[in-house]
Structures are given as C-alpha cells and as structure tokens.
C-alpha cells in the first residue's frame, strides 16, 4: 500500500464515520417526527447538515490527494471518493425532506413501524460501511466480505422499501401530496443505501488491482 492509498483510506474512514453518525441521526429524525418532537427533529437535521459539510471537505481533500499523485494516477480511487460523496448527499436529502412534512399521523399508524424497519436497516448499513473503510486501511485482504455484507443489506433495504412504497400508495386517508413527500424521504434513504452498494463495487475494483 503506497502513501497516496494510505492517506485516501484514512480520510475515507473519517468520512464513513461521519456518514454512520448521520445514518443514526436519521433514526432520531424519524422517531422525533412521529412523536411530533419538532425541536429534536430540527436538531438532528442540523447535525446531519453539519456532517454533510464535513464530508464534503474530506471528499475534496481526497480528490486533491489523488490528483497530486500524477505518477500513480488511479481513476479507481477517484470513483471511490465520488461514490462515497453520493452516500451522504442522498442521506442529507431524506432528512431535509422529512423536516418539511406538515402532517400528523396517528400514534398507531401502520406506516410508522414500516419506516422504523427501513431506518433500522439503514443504520446497519452505515455501520457496515464504516467497518469496510476501516478494513481497507488495516487489512485489505478481508475487505471483500464487508463488501458482500453491504450487498446483502442493500437487498434487504430494497425489500423493505418496496413494502413501504406499496403501503403508502394504497393509503387513501392521507393527502396525495403528503404521500409523495413520505415516498421522497423513503426513496432518498433507499438511494443512499444503493450508493453504499456502489461504494462496495468501487472497492472491489481497487482490490482487484492489488
């Protein structure tokens, strides 16, 4: 592992830690929203936006590091850095959209446990992504199994998302514009998980060159 790779992997680990924290904050956002706790909701959204700003700085740092390593220019590293940025961007989008929904569901609404199930797996995805980035810097030979774990979680997310999607489309007691807002939140969560799976694919490309 050369100097450029060590720097990039270390920065990606820092970035993945922020992403994992943001995923956990999204869980707090969902709980706060359904409990009508506007103050906690807005606090979590602010934390997520701050995490997003920090991850953008780390992304820029990595892009500069790779670009300066002219003699060992690696498009695979550029791809990995940019895919990591997509994860945080989609996650931040879900939190912002949730904060704009002006609707009070019943405490026993059937969509609440479905959203909670989606977020629980979402948090698991964030932890797995962080584990993968830590392994890249410590032991690249064992990174493949963490890539496989991300793929498995992403499949689970897809199933949960489709179930929630179908449930919301069949609700005739909620205004259509509110349903579309809920679907937008869920879609951004699903896309953030898709981006995590894309990160795993980018890692596999790097592993294949070592």
Q: Measure CA 115 to chain center.
A: 15
**Could you tell me the pTM of the whole model?**
0.90
- State how far the Cα of 146 lies from the Cα of 133, in Å rounded to an integer: 9
- State how far the Cα of 82 lies from the Cα of 76, in Å rounded to an integer: 10
Confidence at 21, pLDDT banded by 50, 70, 90: very high
- At 147-182, the pLDDT tens digits run 999 999 999 999 999 999 999 999 999 999 999 999
- State how far the Cα of 7 lies from the Cα of 160, in Å rounded to an integer: 37
Residue 36, Ramachandran bin (φ over 0: left; ψ between -120 and 50: alpha; else beta): left
- At 91-140, the pLDDT tens digits run 888 888 898 999 999 999 999 999 999 999 999 999 999 999 998 888 88
Query: What domain range is 110 assigned to?
Result: 3-208
Question: 54: domain CATH number?
Answer: 1.20.58.220
Question: In the chain, how many domains are there?
Answer: 1
Whether the per-residue pLDDT at 26 is higher than 90: the answer is: yes
**Arithmetic mean of pLDDT over the chain:** 90
Residue 101, Ramachandran bin (φ over 0: left; ψ between -120 and 50: alpha; else beta): beta
Task: Decide: residue 180, CB within 10 A, 0-12 exposed, 13-18 middle, 19+ buried.
Answer: exposed
């Amino acid at each position: 592992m050369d100097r450029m790779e060590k720097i990039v992997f270390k920065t990606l680990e820092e970035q993945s830690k922020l992403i994992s924290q943001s995923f956990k904050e999204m869980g707090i956002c969902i709980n706060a929203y359904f409990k009508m706790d506007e103050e906690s909701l807005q606090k979590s959204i602010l934390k997520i936006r701050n995490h997003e700003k920090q991850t953008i700085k780390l992304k820029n740092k990595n892009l500069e590091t790779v670009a300066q390593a002219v003699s060992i220019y690696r498009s695979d590293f550029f791809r990995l850095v940019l895919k990591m940025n997509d994860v945080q961007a989609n996650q931040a989008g879900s939190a912002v959209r949730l904060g704009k929904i002006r609707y009070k569901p019943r405490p026993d609404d059937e969509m609440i446990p479905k959203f909670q199930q989606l977020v629980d797996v979402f948090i698991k995805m964030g932890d797995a992504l962080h584990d993968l980035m830590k392994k890249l810097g410590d032991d690249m030979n064992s990174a493949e199994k963490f890539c496989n774990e991300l793929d498995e979680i992403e499949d689970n997310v897809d199933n949960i998302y489709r179930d929630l999607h179908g449930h919301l489309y069949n609700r005739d007691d909620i205004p259509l514009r509110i349903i579309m807002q809920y679907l937008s939140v869920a879609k951004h969560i699903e896309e953030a998980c898709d981006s995590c799976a894309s990160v795993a694919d980018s890692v596999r490309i790097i592993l294949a060159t070592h």
